[in-house]
Amino acid sequence: MTTDTASTGAPQTEDRLPFDVRLVPAAAVCWSITAIGILGGPGAALAATASAVALVLVVAVVLHGLAIRHAWPGPSRSGAVAVIVLALCFGGATWLQMRSLAEHPVAAAAEKRAWVTASVRLEDDPRLLLSAGPSMVMTKAEMTRVDVGGEALYVGGRVSIIAPESSWSALLPGQEVTVRGRLGVPLRPDMSVAVIRTSGPPVTVNEPGAISATAGTFRSNLAAVAQNSMPPDRAGLLPGLVVGDVSRLDETVTENFRAAGLTHLTAVSGANFSIVIGAVLLVLRGIGIGPRATVAVAFVVLVAFVIVARPSPSVVRAAVTGSIGLVALVTGRRRQAVPALCGAVLGLLAWWPRLAVDVGFVLSVFATAGLVLVAPIWGDWLRARGWPRAAAEVVAVAAAAHAVTAPVVAAMTGTFSVVGVAANVLAAPVVAPITVVGIVTAVIATVSGSLAELVAQLASAPLWWLIAVAEEAASVPVAGVVVPDGVRGAALAALSTAALLTALRFIVFRWVAAAVALAALALWTAHVLW
């Protein structure tokens, strides 16, 4: 829990700690309760809350006993009480939300696959959904009114809409539309009420707001300039790297990125915000702007980029985690980065509980933790062995991000990329230039399309390099190893990564680590063959 500052020597002990981890138990407990409640329903939320409270009490008692026996600084009562109070709050809120979801009238109609006419407000851009059939898109929306079984219901609730690409792809977030379709149960437990499948265009469509329309123009200008100034594979990749628009991304490029462990580059992540804000800070400080004005301008740019990339929960969490990572690196205050990250996790989960089961949220948090906790240590280790500073930092960041996220990817997808670190190291030098050039291109395109096309050419060669890296990495035999999904896959990926790191770090245990890695590989192979 927290360190007892009343104990003698406690402040010195805490000062010697490299990181402030006092908020970690609260974040872990509240995140676990929320995720279990969403996946298992109201009953699971109550069970998870009770189990978490009991676990906190047991751990606090055990640590207190050890502290008395060995004269260690013990856990503070206020820290344990704070974790328990937060657990009860998050557990109670999750129980109420999941119970409301289970009793929602539209959820009952979805079980019967009823036909409905619903008025909704779109939350994000329609995205291609290959699993739903050819030329189908999916978007998330918030209901305002539903007509089902001849009854008009003025209810809220989040739904997924699966519709034809031809008549839905041009819609923008914030637009209010009316859709006629058949209800179905949610595709996955993400706090959605239902799925609406339709084969026709929206019945009615309202005009988007000024902010949404401006952001849509910004995105479409970037895509148009890319299409006019470079080959199709690069033209489809540029908007994906800059603002997460993958609507024109080539299928071959998509598959190569997935096999190479580079898929995260085509989604708006904390790295995008770190690059954009970092570039702004560099320019402003270079021309002599004061700290306060620099912070103000950086904040405005951050908000503008959130709007352009779409202010969905996934983008907001990327902005938060990216900002935390950037501040930690720029200021050198890695100790404060951990409580900032934990506080961000608690705040985001309180506002958007469904992020608890969002893969992007998990990857963002883990990657940010790896960036501020692991990468600097590994970078120092490499520099101590004669590596140049730039090379050491690039390799350390890529390796740390891959190491901490590999178990999550394995659990979610059932694959473990063996070329991911190498591919990310080779890709890292061009990601920032592409992002900055893309943003500048989109800004210039609002004034002059021809000038924007000239500027976009600066990103053509880096894009070619990125595509080539993905293609070569994907062509490596067994580039992605098949593992069991779920907890077993995560455990195997974590053990194999730990074994590899041990082999590289400690020469004495190299053969032992290699044996563990081979055993894990044998288990994977046996599972696949079985």
Q: At what angle do helices 270-286 and 313-331 cross, to 10 degrees?
A: 50
pLDDT at 9 over 50: no
Question: pLDDT of 98-123, one tens digit each?
Answer: 999 999 999 989 999 999 999 999 98
Average pLDDT over residues 251-263: 85
Q: What pLDDT is stored for residue 344 in this prediction?
A: 87
Average pLDDT over residues 220-228: 92
Confidence of residue 507 (pLDDT cuts 50, 70, 90): low
Q: Which amino acid is at 191?
A: M
More confident residue, 281 or 189: 189
Confidence of residue 8 (pLDDT cuts 50, 70, 90): very low
Q: Diameter of the chain by CA atoms?
A: 75
Q: What pLDDT is stored for residue 152 in this prediction?
A: 86
Average pLDDT over residues 5-31: 65
CA distance 401 to 413: 17
| End-to-end C-alpha distance for the chain, whole angstroms | 44
Q: What pLDDT is stored for residue 177 in this prediction?
A: 94
Question: pLDDT of 347-356, one tens digit each?
Answer: 999 999 999 9
Average pLDDT over residues 124-141: 81
Task: Kindly tell me the burial class for residue 365, based on how many C-beta atoms sit within 10 Å of its own C-beta (0-12, 13-18, 19 or more).
Answer: buried
Average pLDDT over residues 250-267: 83
Phi, psi of 151, deg, nearest 5: -115, 135
Q: What pLDDT is stored for residue 331 in this prediction?
A: 61
More confident residue, 345 or 6: 345
Question: pLDDT of 383-438, one tens digit each?
Answer: 888 888 888 887 888 888 878 888 888 887 777 777 777 888 888 889 889 999 99
pLDDT at 307 over 80: yes
Q: What pLDDT is stored for residue 333 in this prediction?
A: 64
Phi, psi of 116, deg, nearest 5: -140, 160
Confidence of residue 493 (pLDDT cuts 50, 70, 90): confident
Q: Quote the pTM value.
A: 0.79
Q: Are 250 and 232 in contact (CB under 8 A)?
A: yes
Nearest of 211, 316, 245, 325 to residue 277 by alpha carbon: 325
More confident residue, 506 or 299: 299
pLDDT at 517 over 70: no
Confidence of residue 139 (pLDDT cuts 50, 70, 90): very high
Mean pLDDT for the chain overall: 82
Name which CATH class applies to 105-208: mainly beta
Q: Are 203 and 181 in contact (CB under 8 A)?
A: no
Confidence of residue 12 (pLDDT cuts 50, 70, 90): very low
More confident residue, 404 or 88: 88
